[in-house]
Amino acid sequence: MAFPNRLLTPSTWRLVGLGLTTTIFALGALAIVSPAVGAESLGVIPTTPEGREVAGKGMIFLGVRDLAAAGALYWYYFEGKQKEMGVLTLAWTLVCVVDTWVATQGPKGWDSGIWTLCGGAAVVTFVGLGLVQS
């Protein structure tokens, strides 16, 4: 088997995928429940009432996006479809990259948690590869 699959057993990869799914769900729930915190974590800091309203609505869109992906991943997990979980997780890497790019465009640039987002994208890619190969 190819790297990274040989590092863990298939059942362990499945559980790692479940953990990542739960993280995606939690981030989506955060964006819906507390849009201001979610927006700030992406470097969006509105300064006007209109800006806060737009940022709040945008974060709800992002939260629903995350919840939809997590719902599909949970379904694949419970159906035992590891390869499908891996394909969706690998596709989610693009979402991570775009989120990171948007965050770098904020007022803090590369200074505020961007490396955490980069690490998150690497983890998503790693887990997706492990799931696809199992």
Whole-prediction pTM:
0.88
Say what the pLDDT of residue 110 is. 72
43-56 per-position pLDDT tens digit: 778 889 998 999 99
Contact 5, 129 (CB under 8 A): yes
2-46 per-position pLDDT tens digit: 778 788 999 999 999 999 999 999 999 999 999 988 888 777 788
- Residue 7, number of CB atoms within 10 A of its CB: 11
| DSSP H or E segment with residue 77 | helix 49-79
Say what the pLDDT of residue 112 is. 64
pLDDT band at residue 1 under the 50/70/90 scheme:
low
51-74 per-position pLDDT tens digit: 899 999 999 999 999 999 999 999
